[in-house]
Amino acid sequence: MKKNYKMIISYDGSRYHGWENQPGVEMTIQGKLNQVFSRLAETEVEVIGAGRTDAGVHARGMTANVHLDVPYTEEEILQYANRYLPDDICITELKTASDRFHSRYLATGKTYCYTCYIGDRKPVFQRKYVYIPDGIPDIPRMRQAASHLKGEHDFASFSHNPRMKKSTVREIYDIRIEKKGPMLTFTYHGSGFLQYMVRILTGTLLEVGLGLREPDSIPELLQARNRSLAGFTAPAKGLCLMKVDYQ
């Protein structure tokens, strides 16, 4: 009997063309998962993810689900998948879920973390997972700017797709900007995020921190709904999906 399985997945996105399986593109996270579970089920299956992380973006807590008709326990399925997945993809949890559970449609929020390195030595072992800004950003200025981004807004100015036909309104519940040693982190918790939105938000806040724009310019930027007025798109390598919320 076919069952629906919910998974939590961690992956290093450095060498992948994002989450979404694409025709003619071998290196995607979803594509690798599809291959392994199709081999296990001896039929084509599709793993459904809670969202689509871009090329080079990482995850510690991507949620996904897959329907399988196999005579194995949850632990056996988990062990099989991790045995055949590449070393940079790991399923950390796998449990039977309700037949109606859908990782994308039922998601109520996501948390992303963007990490910058502001130390005075080269981050040799973290270099693939951090962005090094040109200077030391002013944290109070960035927090002031971030306060204007919280709540429900039209984030068209922070969208990579200017021709997007769907609504660009999203709600940001919280933005935390913290320094821990040489690491500067931006943690975003919201209802959902547009393509490149977190990376554009981070680039814009960094520009505020480096004195290239004023904190109180953010409301006008939101109202403009013009991507060209926002900050640069921070590199993908610093971004990680931390958690997906469900009711």
Q: Enumerate the active-site residues.
A: 54
Main-chain dihedrals φ then ψ at residue 98, nearest 5 degrees = -60, 150
C-alpha closest to that of 175 among 151, 156, 196: 151
User: How does DSSP classify residue 129?
Assistant: S
Name residues whose C-beta falls within 8 Å of residue 9's C-beta, 6 or more positions apart in sequence.
29, 33, 59, 61, 62, 63, 64, 89, 90, 91, 92
Other Cβ atoms within 10 Å of 151 Cβ, number: 11
